[in-house]
Structure formats: structure tokens, C-alpha cells
Amino acid sequence: MKSYFLILLALVSVNSARGAEEIIEESSSWPFSWNISDHALVTSAKDPGDPTLPASNVLFHQSSLGIEFGNFSSKVAVSNRFSQTKDPLIDQPFLLDKKNLAGSWENLEFQLGDSHQEFGRGIGLALFSNPAFGVDNTLEGGAVKVRNSFGELSAFGGKVNALKAPVAINPVDTFMEAREVRLVGGAVSGNLARQTKLTAHYHQTENQPNGKPINKKYQTWGFIFESRDLLSGLEAYLETNIMDWEASTSSKKPLKAKPRGYGSYASLSYSDLAFKTKLEFKDYREFFYEFQRPPTLEEDFVLATNNSDVSAARLGLEGRLGEEGTTVLGTSYLHGQDRELKTPVHHPVAFSKFKIMSGVELELKGGYRWMPEKNNLAHASVKTKVKTAKGQYVELELRKQNLNQAITSPIPIREERNVARLTYTFSERFNLGVGYEHMPTNLPELGNHFMNGSATYSSGMLVARGFIGQTSGGTQCSSGVCRQVPPYTGAYLETTLSF
């Protein structure tokens, strides 16, 4: 069955590419333009909870069609999913994921159907797309923007629409099927100077389980100040949000007001010195809202699950040395207070990137994160890139992490992770890679050694990625979103066609 899925996907990809070339040639004289994107994923994976079970084979697929005609555009996306076992909980023969009609002029924009909405840095609201985790949250309704030389006014309203069959190995579960989330809001901004503006935004959210009364209500106000021309080389950003919300623990109880939530972020960077300086600050207090992605200020491998009740500041310095600025030296230090764990946070990091000879680049990074009497994490990485021929190079990455949790408890938890990754790039179109992970602290039944191989091919309209082997799981981050993913044993082939 696995072979059947792989052959089917290859035939679909080849036929789609051939059809695209013919159709594009015929439609060149049409008064409108259009594009098609086809995303498919075939996976054969073992159950991480019980590796003795047979591998599960699943075909994920999504296609989207976009059309542009003058100032107007439209897009429709559909998906389906099929399993080898014909599991009704997995199989989705046909789903209409997204539909959108938009118009754009110099001073006016409108969108009907599905659209992404986000305020500032995503603290108060973020309906966004993240293909790595199968996230594509949109507002199904209407949105409009009106602008002139003085500022911009926007408004939107509708309900949240999440993907029901995302094309992803480790999709984020949004649990939208058993409820409806309605959202209305808008923003107004004024230009204070050429690159300086002030924005005020507001939105209201209602969460209603199917067949039951509303059980949550939110109202959020926010202000944003951003400038790139206060002084030469100085950039500033400040955002603050206030959220009032109420909730009910059951359908028979009335809504009850919860503590007011606050969410703020600020950054100040100055580049007209030998070392670029950046200072960032976050302060989230009782800010419990689902559709957001606030700045964490953390490294990608740190699972910063507390974005609701924490304060922290980070100072970063980065400088370029040498005649061509090829040597980079930098450091950062984060200090904060985690109010959920009731402990401070410290995290210094140092990094460097330089050339040791012609065609050889080296990158070093290391740091130590600790929360007194709670946990600590030591991490280090080495990356090297060596040119071997014209357009070809080999890359080697070594990473080591030692995590200690519950360090004051009678049974502390220790995790040691050692990762090696070797990739050879034959051209800008094709590369091969092998990976090895050693987890000596794992229980024997979970495995201590994990090996895998991967390949990527890109050629105009087609991007294909293949993988076979094992991964140990752990923290995975993409575009500011981090989550814990389970161990993976199996193989997958992922293709994206665009034309």
C-alpha cells in the first residue's frame, strides 16, 4: 500500500506539471492571470506509543486555485485525506478549506471570505498560516481597509476558520469542530512622520460550543508606536494590549469576569556603532488568549510555553569585523520572571561566524539557561560549510543539549540530546542529507539511537522533499511558533507544485 501511494503521488505530480505547461501557453492571451498550487504528502509512520503496531499509511493533499483580473483576485483551496485502513476518523474525501474574493486599489482594499488578520507583533490577535505545523487560521467573513497620506482605517468581522485536514506531519490541533469562534474588530493608524506611525486597535471575540450558550467573551484594546527615523540608525517599537474577558465553567452557570490581562512588547535597536545594539522587553500578565503568537525572546529550541504570565528583557550585541565584514561576533543576555513557576529566568548566549580559509565557513554558538531551583539547560552548536566545487558544498552541524528539570525534587529529570547532521548540496536544485541523534538518557524501550536520511529537489514549479528513518521528537519551532512533537519512525514524500 505504501508503494501504491508513492507511485500515485509521482504520477499526479508529473501529469500536473505537464498539464500546467500546456494550459499556461494557451492562456497567455486571456484578460486575466491564474495560478495553481498543489501540496501533497504521503507518509508511512509507526505509532510512537506502540511501535509494534503496523505502520500507518496516509495520503494528505491540498490544491488551491487563484485568479487575478485587474484589481480583483479570488482564491479557492480544497483538501482531502485518505488512510490505508479506511479509518473514518482520518479519511476526508473532500473539504472546502478556503475561499476568498479580494479587491485592491491605491486607497482601498476589501476581502470577502477567508483572510488572515493580525495586529502588530501578534500579541493581541494573530490569525496566520504556518505550513510546518499545518496551521492556517483565517477569518471567514469580511475585511476592509481605507488609507490616504495621513493614515489607515481597517475593520473586519466573521468567524475563525481552521484547517480540518492539514497537510503536515505534526499538525497543531485547534479543536474547532465542536465550537464556533466569532470575531469583530478594527484598527486606525496615523502617520506622525515619514516612517513613524501610531496605531490603535480593538477586537471582540465570542466562543460558543455547538448547541450550548456562549462560554467565553473577550475584549482587547491596544496601541502601537513604531518608528524608523527618530534618529539616524535608531528603530523603536512599542505595543501594549489590555484584555477584559469572562468565562463560564458550565452551560448552566453565567459568565464570570476574569482578572484583566495585559500584554506588552517593546524593542529599541541602534546600528550606527561598531556593534549593533538591540534591547527587547516583554510583559504578559494574565493574558490568556488562544489566537496569538507573541514574541518569546527565546532561542528556537526552548519550548517557551508560558506566554501568558511572564516578564523578561533581552540585550543583544552584534558586530562585523574584517575588511568585508565576514567575521560576526555577538552575544545576548535574557533576564526575566516567570510568574507561573514563580522563579527568575537567566539565559546568556554567545555566537560567532567567520571564515577560516577560502571556501570554509564556521559558525559557533553556545549558552546556558537556568531557572533557579527549577531547571537548567546547557546548549552548544557547531556549523561548518565547505565549498567542494562550483555550486556545490558540504555542510556539517553538531548540536548538544543537556536539560535538567525538577532539580530540587527527589527524582530529578535529565535529558541529554546529541545531534549530527551532514548535508551535501549538488546544486541549487538538489541536496542529500543524513542525520544521527543520540539520546543516552532515554529509557531503552524509547530508543537511544535515531538515524535518518532526507533529500530535497527543486525545479521551477516543483519542490519535493523526502525523508526516511527516525527522529527523537522534542521541541520544534517555526515562524515563532514552538511545540513538542512526538518521536517519528517512518518515511514521507512531500511535493508542492505551483504554476
pLDDT at 367 over 90: yes
**Contact criterion met (CB below 8 Å) for 167 and 473:** no
Paired residues of 84 in beta bridges: none
- 39 within 8 A of 56, measured Cβ to Cβ: no
What gap in Å lies between CA 170 and CA 106, rounded to an integer? 40
Domain assignment of residue 212, yes or no: yes
Is pLDDT of 374 > 90?
yes
Q: Which of 69, 124, 411 is nearest to 292 (CA)?
A: 124
What residue numbers bound the domain in which 253 lies? Answer: 105-295
Helix (H) or strand (E) holding 210: none
Number of domains in the chain: 1
Q: What's the pLDDT score for residue 465?
A: 96
CATH code, domain with 277? 2.40.160
Question: Is residue 332 domain-resident?
Answer: no
Q: Is the pLDDT of residue 303 over 90?
A: no
Residue 382 within a domain? no
- For residue 372, is it within any domain? no
Examine residue 198 and state whether it is found in any structural domain, yes or no. yes
Tens digits of per-residue pLDDT, 41-67? 999 998 887 777 888 899 999 999 999
Residue type, 222: G
> DSSP letters along 219-278, please?
EEEEEEEEES-SSTTEEEEEEEEEEEEEE-SSTTS--EEPPPEEEEEEEEEE-SSSEEEE
In a domain, 267, yes or no: yes
Percent of the chain predicted with pLDDT > 70: 93
pLDDT value, residue 29: 58
Count of other CB atoms within 10 angstroms of residue 310: 23
Euclidean distance between CA atoms 403 and 491, whole angstroms: 29
Quote the CA–CA distance of 64 and 74 in Å, as a whole number.
10
For cell 493581541, what's the residue?
Answer: 124
**What mean pLDDT value characterizes the chain?**
90
Residue 123, domain member (yes or no): yes
* pLDDT-based confidence at residue 14 (cuts at 50, 70, 90): very low
Q: Is 159 exposed, middle or buried (0-12, 13-18, 19+ CB in 10 A)?
A: middle
Strand ranges inside 46-150, DSSP E = 56-69, 72-83, 92-104, 108-115, 117-118, 126-127, 129-130, 135-136, 138-147
Residue 354: count of CB within 10 angstroms of its CB: 15
Angstrom distance (rounded) from CA 354 to CA 360? 9
Taking phi over 0 as left and psi of -120 to 50 as alpha, with beta for the rest, 178 belongs to: alpha
Domain annotation covers residue 232: yes
Cell of 175: 479543536
Task: Determine which of 171-175, 291-295, 346-350 has the lowest per-residue pLDDT on average.
Answer: 171-175
Total-model pTM: 0.88
pLDDT tens, position by position, 405-439: 988 888 889 999 999 999 999 999 999 999 999 99
Sequence-ordered list of residues with C-beta below 8 angstroms from that of 21, at least 6 positions apart, any chain? 499
Average pLDDT on 206-216 reads 94
